[in-house]
Structure 1
Amino acid sequence: MAKTKIAHLLHSLGGVDIYVRLLLNNIDTDSFENIVIHGTKDTAVPFLDKNKKNLKEYKISIFREISIFNDLKATYQTYQILKKEKPDLIHSHSAKGGIIGRVLGPILGVKVIYTPHAFSYLSSQSKLKRGIFLAIEKLLAKRSSLLLATSNSEKKRAIDEVGFDPQNTIVFNNCIEPILKIEPLSIPKTWPDYYICTVGRPSYQKNIEQMVRVMNEVNKEVKIHLVVMGVGPVSDQLESVKSLIQELDMENEVTLLSWTERTDVFNIIDQSKLYISTARYEGLPYAVIESLALSKPCVVTNCDGNRDLIKDGFNGFVINEDVIQFKEKILELLGDEKLLERMSKKSQQVFAENFSIKSNIKQLEAIYKSYN
């Protein structure tokens, strides 16, 4: 039987990069052939299949920033690649990949699956830009593509706000491989043993300033450190976060870590007391899924993605962006070992039942086959 050939189109950074690599590392190589079309400057790490063999990849001028020249160039480059490769299916990821794929798919007569990984219009603080980005999403939602949401919250938003047909909108949850081994840190440990952690670049989405304010309130009652991982190059609010840390005299209570190995992220989450997220929006955050896999209760904002992973009072707490309530729930967990232990076990249970890619990959394979 002929393999189904899938072209993945993306700007390969952050959660999108993790999603595609996990998919490629687990999908059946006897039934599917995958190629990857991504940016010239996003990643230099090869894409591998489940047999650890390099996959065919193409690099195009796709970047995070809006540029008419580069965006048109990337569209033309992708057109040439797709004409040559003749895939059975295009899986477009995130904003830029989603636009290019849904424009070219109908032109080339190729079906398109689009995964937003959190809709791009949510990232804009400007009402004008947000309106423009939403209008583009609404326009493209009318084209013949399948919306493959990463969470039920993302599916609901796609239908209610963007205008996707419910019949063309399905969910394949972000999921990861079980974390069976914790590797030693590859970086020096410069923070104390008693700490809370998060993964998130200082940005409007992750709202790290709110987290610093929460931890300032916590530290008025219980001294505990905060480790923030993921302070990489796309951190437009880094200076704002640093200024707030200095203003609140918290230089000794917060550690900001640049991008590091994923194994280090696992190590740091594993040794933390709990995980915290103050994000304004998510798709389905990998760091929270990893925290569940590592049996960590989470205290998170009530936003898309977070609310799909954490059930309030069961495996953590879900908060409506209230600093004092955040503080109270963190202190409740830190002060009650039995509660902490019970929620830790429930977190692992939620992961095992819902978010292991080893169990879920067949679902995605069936989606690809049925839509082809």
Structure 2
Amino acid sequence: MAKKKIVHLLHSIGGVDVYLRLILENIKTDSFENIVIHGTKDTEKPFFDEKGNKVKEYRVSIFRDISIFYDIKSLFQTYKILKKEKPNLIHAHSAKGGIVGRITGKLLGIKVIYTPHAFSYLSTDSSLKRKFFMSIEKFLANGNSLLLATSNSEKKRAIDEVGYKEENAIVFNNCIEPIIKMNLLTIQKTWPDEYICTVGRPSYQKNIEKMIRVLYEVNKEAKIHLIVMGVGPVSNQLESVKNLIVELNMGNEVTLLDWTARTDVFHIINQSKFYISTSRYEGMPYSIIESLALSKACIVTNCDGNKDLIIDNYNGFVIENEDVKGFKSKILKLLTDKELLHKLSKNAFNSYSENYNIKKNIYELESIYLK
């Protein structure tokens, strides 16, 4: 049987980059040939397949922000590459990849799978921008594309809000490889031994300001340190977070860490008491799946992805988005109730093992591609 050729189209950064690499490194090379089209200024790391061979890649003018010139340019560049490669399928990732992939796929008669990784219209509190992004998603929904959500709640949102037909929306949960070896830190440790942690750039999505306010309330009753990992180049609310830390006099209680190796992230999560997320929206966050794989209970907001991963009072707690008192209460509970923390932590690993191990689940995606 001839291999099925799949082109992955994306701005390869953050969780989207992790998602693609996990697919490429686990999908069977005997059945699939993968090609990557990604941005000129995103990842510099090559992509590898399950046998350790480099995956063919092209770079085009796909960027995170809207640019009429570069967005049109990327359409022409991608069209040219697709016409040359003649893939059986396009897997378009995130907003920009989704737009370019669905338009070029339509023009060339190539079927498209689109994974939003959290819909773009959720990324702003501007009603005008929200309507604009929503209109694009609605216009491109259905047609020649199938929506491949990363969680059941993302699929539900696609049907209820964007207008996907139920038969055109399916789910392949984000999942990861087992985390087996914990390496030593490659960065200097500047924080105390007792801490809680999160992964997320200071941004509208991750709502780190709320997390700082929660910690401020918690530390009125029980001192605990917070480590925020992932403070990278797209942290557009970093100054706001820093100013809030100064305003609340919490410089000694919060550590902001720049992007670092994933092994460092794993090490820090592994040594923490538990994990916390105050995100306004998600697709299905890898950092929480990684925390479950490391047997860490999680306290999270009630948003897409988070509420799929965390079952209240089983492997953590789900709190309404703006409920500072609720977060404070559950954090204090886990800081003082060791028996409960142990139970939730044990269940956290069971959740990962049963549902989010890519070694067990990759066949589901292979089946979707083949169909």
TM-score, with structure 1 as normaliser: 0.99
Q: How does 1:177-196 map to 2 (within 5 A)?
A: 177-196=177-196
1:218 counterpart residue number = 218
Is the counterpart of residue 345 in structure 1 residue 346 in structure 2? yes
| 1:106 to partner: Cα distance | 1.6
2:290 counterpart residue number = 290
Whole-Å separation in 2 of the counterparts to 1:350 and 1:128: 39
Whole-Å separation in 2 of the counterparts to 1:162 and 1:45: 34
Whole-Å separation in 1 of the counterparts to 2:353 and 2:142: 36
Classify the secondary structure of the residue corresponding to 2:25: helix
Per-residue Cα deviation, 1:175-205 (whole angstroms, up to 9, x for no partner):
0000011111000000000000000000000
Amino acid at match of 1:216: Y
Structure 2: runs of 5+ lacking an equivalent: none
Is the counterpart of residue 84 in structure 1 residue 91 in structure 2? no
| 1:107 to partner: Cα distance | 1.1
RMSD of aligned residue pairs (Cα, Å): 0.5
2:47 counterpart residue number = 47
Classify the secondary structure of the residue corresponding to 2:48: coil
Q: How does 1:91-130 map to 2 (within 5 A)?
A: 91-130=91-130
Is the counterpart of residue 14 in structure 1 residue 14 in structure 2? yes
Q: How does 1:159-170 map to 2 (within 5 A)?
A: 159-170=159-170
| 1:314 to partner: Cα distance | 0.6
Classify the secondary structure of the residue corresponding to 1:46: coil
Is the counterpart of residue 356 in structure 1 residue 350 in structure 2? no
Structure 1: runs of 5+ lacking an equivalent: none
1:237 counterpart residue number = 237
Per-residue Cα deviation, 1:146-178 (whole angstroms, up to 9, x for no partner):
000000000000000000010010000000000
| 1:109 to partner: Cα distance | 1.1
| 1:6 to partner: Cα distance | 0.1
Aligned 8 A contact 2:62 2:74 in 1: yes
Classify the secondary structure of the residue corresponding to 1:26: coil
Q: How does 1:20-39 map to 2 (within 5 A)?
A: 20-39=20-39
Per-residue Cα deviation, 1:42-73 (whole angstroms, up to 9, x for no partner):
01100000111001000000000100000000
TM-score, with structure 2 as normaliser: 0.99
Whole-Å separation in 2 of the counterparts to 1:51 and 1:222: 49
2:263 counterpart residue number = 263
Count of aligned positions: 370
| 1:2 to partner: Cα distance | 0.2
Whole-Å separation in 1 of the counterparts to 2:189 and 2:25: 31
Whole-Å separation in 2 of the counterparts to 1:155 and 1:90: 19
| 1:142 to partner: Cα distance | 3.6
Classify the secondary structure of the residue corresponding to 2:214: helix
Aligned 8 A contact 2:142 2:168 in 1: no
Q: Which runs of 4+ in 1 moved over 2 A?
A: none
Q: How does 1:142-157 map to 2 (within 5 A)?
A: 142-157=142-157
Amino acid at match of 1:168: N
| 1:287 to partner: Cα distance | 0.1
2:299 counterpart residue number = 299
Whole-Å separation in 1 of the counterparts to 2:33 and 2:204: 37
Per-residue Cα deviation, 1:231-253 (whole angstroms, up to 9, x for no partner):
00001100000000000000000
